[in-house]
Structure 1
Amino acid sequence: MTTILDGRTIAFLAANEGVEHTELVHPWSALRALGARVVLIAPEEGFVHTFRHLDRADRLPVDVRTADADSSDYDAFLLPGGVANPDILRRDPATHRLLRAADRAGILIAAICHGPWTLIDAGLVADRTLAAWPSLATDLTNAGAVWTPERVHVDGGLLTAQGLEDVEEFTDRVIRMLARSTPE
């Protein structure tokens, strides 16, 4: 039985610590259920430790280090939030390289909550409109972007959402965008 995302490979970019559990696991599970292959990419080998706000949740095995990943191997990049997660990723040059290459190639990039912090340091927000956790509004504005109070927003190949309460709509949008662009 084929499903709408068979043949698609989706990269989840996360730091090894501090990723918001639901913002990673909810879209991960939904995409897998629709046939996508999901890959967890992090700066270091080992595990990604998820959190429910400030409380430790699960450990998920890292599939590929950011330094070893090639953007052309993926159909989309998802950046979950949490405060520590994007703050760590924004300092990882390999993450910047991956995201810049994905953006140049027109590969979907989707970030939720504090995830757009990483996009700022990758140089991908100028002249774009993004939804993000409200405390990022000043950071986005200072980087040349427009912060929108919309819960979920699409600007070209960039999908962003404000936070945890938007994870279902965010996931649905990711699925719809990937299903529209599924190769024949």
Structure 2
Amino acid sequence: MENQLKGKKVAIVVANGFEEVELTKPLEALREAGATVDIISPEEKSVRAWAETDWGKDYPVDKNIKDVIAQDYDALVLPGGVMNPDHLRTNDRVIAFVIGFFDDSKPIAAICHGPWTLIETGELDGRKMTSFKSLKTDLENAGALWVDEEVVTDNGLVTSRTPKDLPAFCKKMIEEIAEGRHDQRGNSAKRGGVHQLG
């Protein structure tokens, strides 16, 4: 996988309470594949992980969400953890940033509770996805076709269920990012425009 993603720039977006291993394993895989990776957050300097049953380490934030646009990146990764996406999905800047990846048909990878944030984009109608099982009804209500599989890919959208799926998730994530843009956006292709907040 070395240099498979050379020249690619990837955004990992997290808030406090992200599941630690769901950031560290994809981050490690992306860097090993040659990608440049920014940890982006609504937090200013550092963001705190959740490590299974208690708070984990603090991780430095490379860029604040208010200072980035989707056009600066080739792909997006959304780790899970229950608290993390619950914070992200109520942040207008985060949602505008995520929508930018759909608008540009760029790869998006979300694991566990990470797909929760994607619901707020209105872009999941007709998309085949998986997630942590408690999100099944939420995703189906958003129009997604939910399946119970370790990794699911739908035109550049990669999803997995739990940390146990991380090996398959990371492998497929890198494959999709290496492929680049995926032009088909399913039923939401008619949406368009630039989503930026000043």
TM above 0.5, yes or no, is yes
Separation in structure 2 between the aligned mates of residue 121 and residue 181 of structure 1, nearest angstrom? 24
Displacement of 1:95 in angstroms is 0.9
The answer to whether the 8 A contact 1:133-1:163 is kept is yes
User: How far apart are residue 180 of structure 1 and its match?
Assistant: 2.9
Are the counterparts in 1 of residues 128 and 144 from structure 2 also a CA contact under 8 Å?
yes
- The one-letter code of the counterpart of 2:172 is R
Q: Distance in 2 between matches of 1:87 and 1:171?
A: 23
Equivalent residue for 2:166?
167
Q: Distance in 2 between matches of 1:134 and 1:36?
A: 30
Residue in structure 1 matched with residue 187 of structure 2 by the alignment:
none
Map of 2:6 onto structure 1: 6
- Alpha-carbon distance between aligned partners in 1 of 2:54 and 2:117, rounded to the nearest angstrom: 22
Give me the whole-angstrom Cα distance separating, in 1, the residues matched to 2:121 and 2:94.
8
Q: Shift in Å at residue 46 of structure 1?
A: 1.4
Verify the 8 A CA contact 1:77 1:109 in the aligned structure 2: yes
Tell me, yes or no, if structure 1 residue 105 matches structure 2 residue 110: no
> Per the alignment, in what secondary structure is the counterpart of residue 122 of structure 1?
coil
Query: Does 2:62 correspond to 1:63?
Result: yes
Name the residue aligned to 2:19.
20
**What residue is the counterpart of 1:140 in the other structure?**
139
**Contact preservation (8 Å) 2:49, 2:57:** yes
CA distance in 2, matches of 1:132, 1:108: 17
Contact 1:42/1:64, CA 8 A, preserved across alignment: yes
Give the aligned partner of residue 49 of structure 2.
50
Query: Counterparts of 2:98 and 2:30 in 1: how far apart (Å)?
Result: 20
**TM-score under structure 1 normalisation?**
0.93
Structure 1, unaligned runs of 5 or more: none
Alpha-carbon distance in 2 for matches of 1:67, 1:123: 21
Q: How many residues align?
A: 180
Aligned-residue RMSD, C-alpha: 1.4
Contact 1:11 1:39 in 2 (8 A): yes
| Preserved CA contact (<8 Å) 1:103 1:157 | no
Alpha-carbon displacement from aligned partner over 1:124-144 (angstroms, at most 9, x marks no partner): 212212110011011111112
- Give the structure 2 partner of residue 149 of structure 1: 148
Matched, 1:178 2:177: yes
Query: Would you identify which runs of 4 or more consecutive aligned residues in structure 1 move more than 4 Å?
Result: none
Q: TM-score, normalization: structure 2?
A: 0.87
Structure 2 unaligned segments of length 5 or more: list them. Answer: 182-198
**How many angstroms apart in 1 are the aligned matches of 2:127 and 2:140?**
10
Q: CA deviation at 1:44?
A: 2.1
Partner Cα distance (1:65, 1:47) in 2: 10
